[in-house]
Amino acid sequence: MRKLFIVGVLLFLGSVQVFAQNNLPPLVGPLIAVNTAAQDHIVFYDVSNSAQRSLNLGNGWLMPWDFSADGCRIIYTTSDGLALGRAYSAKLDGSDRRDLVKVTDLPADDWGVWEPQASPDGSLIAFSLLRKDTKSGKTTSHLAVVDAAGGVPSIYSVSGSEYEPRWSPDGKWLAYISFTDRVPGSDVNSTAVPTPEGQQAAAGTLLHEADLWVVSADGKTKYRLTNFPTGSVHAPRWSPDGFLISFIYSPSPNNDTFWMIGNADGAIATELSYQWSEIMDTTWFPDSASILGVARDFQKITDNTMWQVPLVGNSDTDAKQYIPDPNLSFADYPRFSADGHWLALRSEYALALVDVTSKQWSLTNLPLANTPPVWSPAGFKGESSCS
């Protein structure tokens, strides 16, 4: 009887929580989704009125990744400690939580989901599917897609070391990075030429490095965009017009340069900076005419600084500081709103908001974890319009 009473109380409390969520003032938007510094809640920040809504969507570390195409659902992952994460979507009040990915050929503890991204039309979700081999103890990562309603995924890659899937603005392509093992050469700018006998280097000396690839949304066409002799590519970002992909190239760890390339088989990459620095993150300006990058030790400035990187010339001298205000310190994770009017970023480990037209900025009281802010899409018409 006591157990039944406790269960009844828990069910009642759960129903009260959902009721309270549903009676909150509706969010207007545009919205910014972030996770707290403790990563135990997802918070929506409503730019229209500075209102905040905090959701506890389960135990473990919560991370928001994207919104549905209409902005009425948040797509997020949750993981408990070292366990592989799971992907879910939920309404903006936290109700109607849906499990997005189902893997039937592995035990539940041997697979997980990372960095889910909704396609522009909202029909598909791309992500990195993590698969654990219990015999070897190794975990592989595969580019995969699943229907937005959830289900069994289709795997687009088989090499087992693919990450950072990013949809093109028209939804026809996915850019991603793929790692391969390389035999190190005599210096940091070379790899070894295989011997006539085909001798392999010892496993512990192999370089595990990445290049940029693209695959069509139907999975039928795939090609490699970069082929650097050594070093790794990361942070692929499509220009809003869909013609270019920017990326960060690192000949060696923490020695980064700005690059871009067109989406065509055989395209030649363009180097935008030459002096090594530490590039924290990048995003495109809404007009596709330049890149907003955050870097330290760039142009002799040590601290994290936002730079407007031109597509022509040498950014080592031609890039300009974006908002050269020393009070906007420790900048990171810049993201433009869908309408291009706002820029959200992390500054001093809190959410900062910039009016792009006036360049005026403010620092909110919302502390952030080591994750970028996520904007609601252009299709969001306010929570009152969500079914």
The pLDDT > 90 percentage for the chain reads: 78
Which of the four pLDDT bands, split at 50, 70 and 90, describes residue 5?
very low
Return the CATH number at 170. Answer: 2.130.10.10
Which of the four pLDDT bands, split at 50, 70 and 90, describes residue 22?
low
Which of the four pLDDT bands, split at 50, 70 and 90, describes residue 59?
confident
Evaluate if residue 231 carries a pLDDT over 50: yes
Instruction: Give the model confidence (pLDDT) of 301-346 as tens digits.
Output: 999 999 999 999 999 999 999 999 999 999 999 999 999 999 999 9
Strand pairing of 98-99 and 173-182?
A: unpaired
Which pLDDT score is estimated for 125?
Answer: 98
Would residue 185 count as lying in a domain? yes
Q: Dihedral (C-alpha) 332, 337, 341, 345: value to the nearest 10 degrees? A: -20
User: Would the pTM of this model clear 0.85, i.e. be above it?
Assistant: yes
Eight-state DSSP code of residue 384: G
Nearest CA among 52, 50, 34 for reference residue 42 = 34
Through-space distance between the first and last CA atoms of the chain, rounded to whole angstroms: 39
Backbone angles phi, psi at 250, to 5 degrees: -120, 100
Average pLDDT of the residues of the chain: 89
Query: Which H or E run contains 252?
Result: strand 244-252
What's the structural domain count of the chain?
1
- Residue 246 belongs to what domain range? 31-278+296-323
Which pLDDT score is estimated for 192?
Answer: 42
Separation CA 35–CA 374 (nearest Å): 10
Separation CA 353–CA 363 (nearest Å): 6
Which pLDDT score is estimated for 213?
Answer: 97
Which pLDDT score is estimated for 333?
Answer: 97
Q: What is the mean pLDDT of residues 46-57?
A: 97
Evaluate if residue 145 carries a pLDDT over 80: yes
Would residue 239 count as lying in a domain? yes
Which pLDDT score is estimated for 172?
Answer: 98
Cis peptide before 153 (omega within 30 of 0): no
Nearest CA among 238, 76, 269, 236 for reference residue 171 = 238
Evaluate if residue 202 carries a pLDDT over 60: no
**Residue 123, both tokens:** 């029909």
Q: How far is CA 330 from each of CA 18, 335, 337, rounded to the nearest angstrom?
A: 37, 15, 21
Give start and end residues of each alpha helix (H) in the chain: 2-22, 315-318
Separation CA 89–CA 101 (nearest Å): 11
Nearest CA among 171, 164, 157, 129 for reference residue 236 = 164
Would residue 354 count as lying in a domain? no
Would residue 25 count as lying in a domain? no
Would residue 366 count as lying in a domain? no
Would residue 346 count as lying in a domain? no
Separation CA 328–CA 307 (nearest Å): 13
Which pLDDT score is estimated for 386?
Answer: 97
Would residue 358 count as lying in a domain? no
Q: How many CA atoms, within 13 angstroms, populate the side-chain half-sphere of residue 6?
A: 3
Give the residue, 190 or 144, on which the prediction is more confident: 144
Q: How far is CA 61 from each of CA 44, 81, 226, 317, 371, rounded to the nearest angstrom?
A: 16, 8, 34, 41, 12
Q: How far is CA 220 from each of CA 148, 155, 182, 208, rounded to the nearest angstrom?
A: 20, 12, 27, 27
Evaluate if residue 112 carries a pLDDT over 90: yes
The pLDDT > 70 percentage for the chain reads: 88
Q: In what order do the strands lie in the sheet with 332-336?
A: 332-336, 342-347, 350-355, 361-367
Separation CA 282–CA 311 (nearest Å): 13
Which pLDDT score is estimated for 8?
Answer: 41
Instruction: Give the model confidence (pLDDT) of 363-373 as tens digits.
Output: 999 999 889 99
Three-state DSSP string of 345-365: EEECCEEEEEECCCCCEEEEE
Q: How many CA atoms, within 13 angstroms, populate the side-chain half-sphere of residue 347?
A: 22
Would residue 61 count as lying in a domain? yes
Which of the four pLDDT bands, split at 50, 70 and 90, describes residue 205?
low
Which pLDDT score is estimated for 189?
Answer: 52
**Burial 200-230, CB ≥16 within 10 A → b, else e:** ebeeeeebebbbbbbbebeeeebeebbebeb
Q: What is the mean pLDDT of residues 181-205?
A: 52
